[in-house]
Chain A
Amino acid sequence: DTGVSQDPRHKITKRGQNVTFRCDPISEHNRLYWYRQTLGQGPEFLTYFQNEAQLEKSRLLSDRFSAERPKGSFSTLEIQRTEQGDSAMYLCASSLGGVTYEQYFGPGTRLTVT
C-alpha cells in the first residue's frame, strides 16, 4: 500500500454515460498525476496538478475528459459520454517537490464501457 487510494476500484458503465473517479494522494504530496493504461501497454500520461493548479494535459486527452483538484488535496477525473475506447485502467500517482520520476501510484480504477 503506497498511501494513494482510488475509488472506485472497478466501474462498469454503458456507452454514453458519464463517470467520475476519485484519487486521494499521500497527504503531504503537492504533485498529482493521472495516467491511463490499456492491456499490454505501459501507463500513458493524461494530466498533472501542482497543488490545485492543472499545469499539463496530454494532447491525447479529449474534451470529454476533465480533471480537478480542489484545495490541492483529492482529485477527480470525469469522463463524459463514455465510449468503448475509454475502457482502461485509470491510475493516479502523487509525488513531493517538483516533477519527478519517483511517483507513488494508487491501485487504479478499472473502467469497462459496454
Chain B
Amino acid sequence: LAKTTQPISMDSYEGQEVNITCSHNNIATNDYITWYQQFPSQGPRFIIQGYKTKVTNEVASLFIPADRKSSTLSLPRVSLSDTAVYYCLVGAQGGTASKLTFGTGTRLQVTL
C-alpha cells in the first residue's frame, strides 16, 4: 500500500498559483494518483486523476515526474472559494476498496 505524505497546511493570496506536492515513494506500477477537495461540512469532491506526465482539466493540473514518486497538484489563480482540504490518494483501479486511504490532507487557506 503506497503511503502518501503531504504538507499539513499552505497559505496563499487570491490570484496566485498554488502547487501542492504529494510524496509517494513506494508507488506501485499499476497505481494511479488521485486528488480530492473537501470543504467544511461537505463530502470530498474528485478533482483530478493521473498516471504519468501531465493531466489538465478545467479545475487543476496534475504533474507527475517520470519516477512517479511524487506528484504536484497545481491550482491556477486561486480564489477565496478554493480554501479547502486537499487529499492525495494513491492506489490501483479495480483493487480493494479498503485500501482507499485519504490521510489527513493539506489545508489550503486563501486570503485577500
- Determine if chain A interacts with chain B: yes
Q: What's the nearest-Cβ distance from chain A to residue B58, in Å?
A: 15
CB contacts (< 8 Å) of B97 on chain A: these are 31, 33, 45, 48, 55-56, 99
- Tell me the count of chain A residues lying within 8 A, CB to CB, of chain B: 30
- Tell me the count of chain B residues lying within 8 A, CB to CB, of chain A: 25
Main secondary structure of the interface of B (DSSP, over half): loop
- Taking Cβ atoms with an 8 Å cutoff, the residues of A that contact B are 2, 4, 31, 33, 40-45, 48, 55-56, 58, 89, 91-93, 98-108, 110
The 8 Å CB contact of B45, one of A40, A89, A105, A110, is A105
B42-A100 in contact (CB<8A): no
> Given that A2-B45, A4-B43, A43-B44 are contacting pairs, would A101 and B96 also be in contact in the complex, using a CB cutoff of 8 Å?
no
B104-A98 in contact (CB<8A): no
B49-A102 in contact (CB<8A): yes
Q: What's the nearest-Cβ distance from chain B to residue A20, in Å?
A: 19
